[in-house]
Chains A and B, each alone.
Chain A
Amino acid sequence: MAVGGAARAGEGGGGGQRPVVLVPARLGTRDLARLASVGLRTRKLRAGLSALGIAIGVAAIVAVLGLSSSSSAGLISEINKLGTNLLTVTNGQTLFGQTAELSVDAPGMIGRIGPVTDVQYDGTVSNAEAFRTPLIPSIDTNALSVEAASLGLLSAVGTTVAQGSWLNAATAQEPVAVLGAAAAQRLGIDRIFEGERIWVGDEWFYVAGILNQAVLTPEIDSSVFVGFPAAETYLGFDGHPSEIYLRAVTSQVNAVDSVLAATADPEAPNQVDVSQPSAALTAEADAQGAFNDLFLGLGAVALLVGAVGVANIMVISVLERRSEIGLRRALGATKGHIRLQFLSEAVLLSVIGGVVGIAFGALSTAVYASTKGWAIVVPPLAWGGGFGAAVLIGAVAGLFPALRAARMSPTQALWSI
């Protein structure tokens, strides 16, 4: 209809000529960018402060996601270094609630499972405690356990000797002990010197070494290790293993896991507990992320507050810039041009805040992760999500002010100042 009107006008003007169609021009990207930045250039402080609101929210979200990813990455890389192919078999409980015993033959039987590459074990010497001296009251056990250990245990559990040396075929026969990391600490021993000894059971045992922390198997840390023969000779140990540590071909870990209980105790597989320590730790690393929900929520609240700030600034801006809006309408801007200008201004404001926030969040992640020695991981979800959230918030916060600006009648905008 409008085009028809134009055509009629053309007829009146010249008769039978091409109809003149009035079509508003489209704004180029460059012009739009220039228009969107008008408010930012003219009111820098105000724009900066409202962008800061968005920046804080985005920075919080990026930093929380980045830090949790970096810390998980740190833990997981450690786990991977130690190997995910460690399985443990421990004695469970009988139907009557008593501690079950693993058979002496169990390690040998497990060793015959095809993909198993290494089997080591230890046995808890139940009637012996370890003390610094015989003068310590016997109830101060420090929650240490005395374990008889097979000689290849260290490589199987993925730890190493911090000081001194591990047991060997000779020292395994003699009253010689090696301390787990926590056990050494609790006994007050931080270095090895010749003749150092502790009171185990009713015997002095010479301390040969101290172990590093065993991340995959924390129970190693609070143990005092002696050789199997020594345990039998000096401590009355019955020789039954209580924990078996085995390494399997990584791709076959689950298959081995499924047959392990039945292999370890064919008569009563339900009395055997089988676990994969790395899986538990990985789950723990993931669970750490759950704490982040709280901080993410706080970040989202900050973003929301930032969005309200942007909306507020835009509403004020529209009111203040009535004459500019009126002038632009007089210069030929359509309602759409005005709407687009203010909407892009809000998005631009928000995106600037978002980019600053991403940079700040990534920087704080990098600083913190490097002090902790973690890999620096800022997941795409964090920066992508932060950027997307900023764009979205700008669009939502700018929509109402932009619609208001476009609805403004040009005559009122120009003549009622």
Chain B
Amino acid sequence: MTAPVTRPYPGPASPAAGDRLDVGSNPPVVLELEDVTKTYPGEPPVEALRGVSFTVHRGELVGIVGPSGSGKTTLLHLIGTLDRPSGGIVRVTGFDISQLSDRELSALRAGRIGFVFQQFFLAEHQSVLDNVADGLLYAGASFSERRRAAAHALARVGLSDKLAVLPTKLSGGQRQRVAVARALVGRPALLLADEPTGNLDSSTGQSVLDLFAELNNEGATIIVITHDHGVARRMGRVIELLDGLVLADSNGGADDHRGDGDDNGGADDNGGADDKGGADDKGGADDKGGADDKGGADGSEAPAWP
């Protein structure tokens, strides 16, 4: 790879990086929430989140499930760095989003977070390839680089034969695959899906969920937000939200609840971070293989999938 990559774009990673998952028992932390609250002003003020804490490591497939009003959309805004918490700390790939300016948050999204929406949000006048390539538009990649990465991402979601087609000619499931490819094209550290099956019939919905599972197997960190317990059950880990609080976390015995428990949990997390440092070196090596020498600063920005 000789692509002249500009700063926030992690760059295409080496496909040979097969060791991504065996970095030890504690893969690096991608997302970290500490006692996060969010209150919307009003009469009376709405407390959408009332102290949510959990941690997501690289390579996890997480479902966040809850009925409407449980705060899951607010949580999505915060994880996606589209909004800031009223209290607590949200760290995405190590960055405390409260500390970042709007510009820096934008750069963070451009390089490290991929979004998949219920309504797909594809540009109807653009070909599938250009829709996916636009996923890298704000990441500083050149036009040809973007198209190359887009073709690669579309191949990954099984739409190699649809590059020049307009999204309006595609079925709902295909459109959502295009949206997934757009989210993946920058190889983000975190893929965030908001009701990805909400506009799809159940069998196409299942195939999109299968795609998520495959991508996760290849190393992508994916968070799916849904109201549908059936969808959530497909995820490796389910976090249930109710009334702005975590009701249950299927990963409860693992590291996260240590963080919930007391402040020492923070130290534990730091311990995790040290491990992450260990992983980081490897990640850095991978990234060099992938012609990206900037990602080395933080292991958690390793590509989501090879």
**A and B associate:** yes
Nearest CB of A to B281, in Å: 8
Q: B297 CB to closest chain A CB, in angstroms? A: 4
**A13 with B297, Cβ < 8 A, contacts A31-B143, A415-B73 known:** yes
Say yes or no: is B285 at the interface (Cβ < 8 Å to chain A).
no
Query: Which residue of B has the minimal Cβ distance to A18?
Result: B297
A-B CB proximity, top 4 nearest: A332-B110, A25-B140, A5-B99, A332-B138
Interface segment among A201-209, A322-330, A388-396: the answer is: A322-330
Report A-chain residues with C-beta under 8 Å of the C-beta of B50: none
Size of the A side of the interface (Cβ < 8 Å), in residues, is: 48
Q: Is the CB of B300 within 8 A of A2?
A: no
B204 in the interface (beta carbon within 8 A): no
Smallest beta-carbon distance A328→chain B, Å: 7
Cβ contact within 8 Å between A19 and B106? no
B288 vs chain A, min Cβ distance (A): 14
CB distance from B224 to the nearest CB of A (A): 16
Listed A/B pairs (13) with beta-carbon separation below 8 Å: A14-B297, A14-B298, A20-B298, A23-B104, A25-B9, A31-B137, A38-B125, A330-B82, A330-B113, A332-B109, A333-B138, A337-B138, A411-B82
The answer to whether A411 and B297 touch across the interface, beta carbons within 8 angstroms, is no
Instruction: Confirm or deny: A410 has a beta carbon within 8 angstroms of a beta carbon on chain B.
Output: yes
CB distance from B293 to the nearest CB of A (A): 10
A9-B95, A23-B8, A30-B143 are known contacts. Are A329 and B297 too (CB-CB below 8 A)? Answer: no
Interface centre among A15, A24, A41, A42 (most CB of B within 10 A): A24
B77 at the interface (CB under 8 A from A): yes
Taking the complex as formed, is A316 at the interface, i.e. its CB lies under 8 A from any CB of chain B? no
Does B127 touch A at the CB level, under 8 Å?
A: no
* Residue in contact with B94 in the complex, picked from A13, A323, A335, A410, CB distance below 8 Å: A13
Q: Are A26 and B7 in contact (CB under 8 A)?
A: no
- Please measure, in the bound complex, the distance between the C-alpha atom of A331 and the C-alpha atom of B132, giving whole angstroms: 11
**With the chains together, A2 CA to B97 CA distance in Å?**
10
Do residues A334 and B106 form an inter-chain contact, with CB atoms below 8 A? yes
Residue ID in chain B nearest A2 by CB atoms: B101
Contact B95 A23 (CB under 8 A): no
Other contacts beyond A10-B297, A13-B273, A328-B137: 6, CB < 8 A: A8-B99, A13-B299, A26-B140, A41-B125, A327-B117, A331-B134
Please name all residues of chain A whose beta carbon is closer than 8 Å to the beta carbon of B276 when the two chains form the complex.
13-14
Report Cα–Cα, A415/B121, bound state, in Å: 12
Is there an interface contact between A14 and B95, defined as CB atoms closer than 8 Å? no
**Closest chain A residue to B276 by CB distance?**
A13
A5-B110 CB under 8 A given contacts A13-B299, A25-B7, A334-B102: no
What string of 1s and 0s marks CB contacts (under 8 Å) between B113-141 and chain A? 10101010101110000000011011111
A33 CB to nearest B CB, Å? 11
Taking CB atoms, residues of chain B closer than 8 Å to A2 are 99-101, 104
Q: Which residue of A lies closest to B6 (CB)?
A: A25
Residue contact A331 to B115, C-beta cutoff 8 Å: yes
Q: Is the CB of A335 within 8 A of B102?
A: yes
Q: Say yes or no: A329 contacts B8, CB within 8 Å.
A: no
Decide yes or no: A332 and B111 within 8 Å by CB, A411-B82, A415-B73 being known contacts.
yes
Give every chain B residue within 8 A of A23 (Cβ-Cβ).
7-8, 103-104, 107
A25: which B residues are within 8 A, CB to CB?
A: 6-9, 107, 110, 138-141
B223 within 8 A of A: no
Asked if A331 contacts B94 (CB within 8 A), the reply is no
CB of A6 within 8 Å of the partner chain: yes
